[in-house]
Structure 1
Amino acid sequence: MSGSDGEGVNGPVEKPRGEVTVEEEGRLLVRVRLPLPASARPRLLLQLRPNKGKPEETGRYVELEPAGQDQWRAVVEAEPALEEGRWDAYVVGAPGEERTPLLPGLRDLRALVSGGGDGRSTPVAVRIPYATKDGRLAVRAWWRAMHAEAGRIVLADDSMTVTARLFGARLGEGAAVSLNRRGQNSAVRQIALRAEGGQDFSFTVDYGDLVAEDGGPGAGDAPVFWDVYVRAATGTPRIRVARLLDDIADRKAVFVYPVTVLDGVSARPYYTVDNDLSVEVAPRRAR
């Protein structure tokens, strides 16, 4: 129990806080302030957050090494890559001990800001440390054998034009972009792709094509969502268009694009909770 003044040897113990530096090639350097004797053998635990209703699987353990008075450090190497998802960070003092969540400290993400260049290796593996909504330290991870990185999005009166770069595949004959309507009443809109040199390309989405015939919602319907993909060539697997190669773990609430109003509906591009690019077409609500 803590003393009446909340101080002294019986006072509350400060929870450990983790500072993270993203280094070249995706290594994570984690520094933890933790008052333990030098003989202790604490470990950093990265635990993949399971999908709803699924059991938790074994996490990734990394030894914490002494790095000064009450200071410890761990290096999470780039290999093996973290599975795509959200990894919560904990400290475990000894085998069988209860894990303690890490609070977020300073995060040096400068190595991520420049994004991916022409020489970026594939598969594309991304790790972004971030603070969760409930104030804990976590790592957002993506792993994609093939990836289409969305760049600039330019909005016009009734369309949007997107520039992008392809990783893990080469543009060939029959390359095209498709928008796939989410849900049971699926539909597909095929869109021409413009090669911009190397692995860069661009495409323009006419919002009118998304509301024609079986595309858009009725006046009283729920919004319709179109997910954006690209095929590098005829007969190749489709590749999700997303924005992953920077320092933003959750893009959906950060990049909010203006709404375009068409006849009876509105349309806007947006990023999903997985930072994938989609288009929302919604009924225009009466005010």
Structure 2
Amino acid sequence: MTTPRAGCTVDAEGRIAFELTAAQGHGLLLRLRPKKGQPEETLHVLDLGPVGEGRAQAVLGPDPVLAEGRWDVYLLDGSERTRLRPGPRDLRALVGGHLREQCRPLAVRVPYVTEDGYLAVRTWLRPAHAEVDRVDVTGGTLRITARLHGASLPDGAEVLLRRRQGEGTVRSLSPLAAQDGRSFSFTVADETLDLGIWDMFVRPAPGSAMIRLARLLDDVADRKRIFVYPGATAGKIVVRPYYTVDNDLSLEVKQAG
């Protein structure tokens, strides 16, 4: 039996239209992938209807907002479900997402192909977001530019580097804000950072919640292995920026040499 395939098209509002040819089913099932060893808990079913010439379509509208994670896509046929292989994916509407002002909360959906060749949807759901624009490494200096969505950057804002291991040591940096009150940049050139992994946040105002720096607003579901940066050598350490499995931006600090 041939494994069914589904193509999909995404529009600028986040709507995803799944299309199948000669589908022998009545709906699509999106399953939030559970953590290893945990049962599945969150499912979302879409009606599948004919659209002519032996084709069928199911549409995931902007609502409901999906929980953050990875959603596997299945074809439903009675009580049976079959995981779908990917067809053509039109993600052009996502490419310029970082240029558009995003609603709050930020809800992002990116269809992608899993490592074992199946169709899935990567989702993010965040109260506010700091979208990374550029990461520049020059000598011993790392310079990052970003833009806030769902928040502004008044006086008193700070960028925070929080060490993931140990006691969660925090270093504070002063961002340079642009005239629009949303875009900002900062540099990392600290020779005294402890070895390990440092996660990066922006705090728009004293006492406000920290907002994670990440790159989410385009068509790349997994950028960890795609966007690879050199390290900045500062004294006896090397500071290398990298994207995590969640597309958040972090720093890896190692001994130089």
Same fold (TM over 0.5): yes
Report how many residues are paired: 256
The aligned counterpart of 1:65 is: 49
Residue 204 (structure 1) aligned with residue 187 (structure 2): yes
- Write the deviation string for residues 119-146 of structure 1: whole angstroms up to 9, x where unpaired: 3222111100000000000000001111
CA distance in 2, matches of 1:72, 1:171: 46
TM-score after normalising by structure 2? 0.95
Instruction: Note the aligned Cα RMSD (angstroms).
Output: 1.5
Q: Pick which of 18-27 and 115-124 moved more.
A: 115-124
Give CA deviations for 1:24-77 in whole Å, capped at 9, x if unaligned: 3000000012353xxxx5111110001123221131100100123442101100
Aligned to 1:236: 208
> What amino acid is the match of 2:5?
R
Find out whether 1:159 has 2:133 as its counterpart: no
The residue matched to 1:126 in structure 2 has which SS?
strand
Structure 1 segment 19-34 matched on structure 2, within 5 A = 19-34=7-22
- Asked if the contact 2:70–2:120 (Cα under 8 Å) also holds between the matched residues in 1, the reply is yes
Report if the CA contact (8 A) 1:175-1:233 is conserved. Answer: yes
- Segments of 5+ residues of structure 1 without an aligned counterpart are 1-12, 217-223
CA distances 1:57-101 after superposition (whole Å, capped 9, x unpaired): 13110010012344210110011111100000000112xx22100
Deviations 1:245-287 (A, max 9, x none): 00000010000001234444322100000000000012346xx
Instruction: Tell me, in whole angstroms, the C-alpha distance in 1 between the residues paired with 2:49 and 2:15.
Output: 16
Cα pair 2:101 2:149 within 8 Å, conserved: no
* Residue aligning to 1:7: none
2:191–2:236 Cα contact (<8 Å) kept: no
The one-letter code matched in structure 2 to 1:242 is A
Which residue number corresponds to residue 72 of structure 2?
88
Residue in 1 aligned with 2:230? 258
Instruction: Give the superposition deviation at 1:118.
Output: 5.0
| Higher strand residue share | 2
2:245 corresponds to 1:273: yes
Evaluate the alpha carbon distance shift between residue 240 and residue 55 of structure 1 in structure 2; reply closer, same or farther with a 3 A threshold.
Answer: same
**Alignment-derived partner of residue 15 in structure 1:** 3
Is the Cα contact below 8 Å between 1:173 and 1:234 reproduced in 2? no
1:227 counterpart = 2:199? yes
TM-score (norm 1): 0.85
One-letter amino acid of the structure 2 residue matched with residue 30 of structure 1 = F
Matches within 5 A, 1:211-222: 215-216=194-195
Stretch moving more, 58-67 or 245-254: 58-67
Matched-pair identity in %: 48
State the partner residue of 1:114: 96
* 1:6 matched residue in structure 2: none
Larger Rg: 1
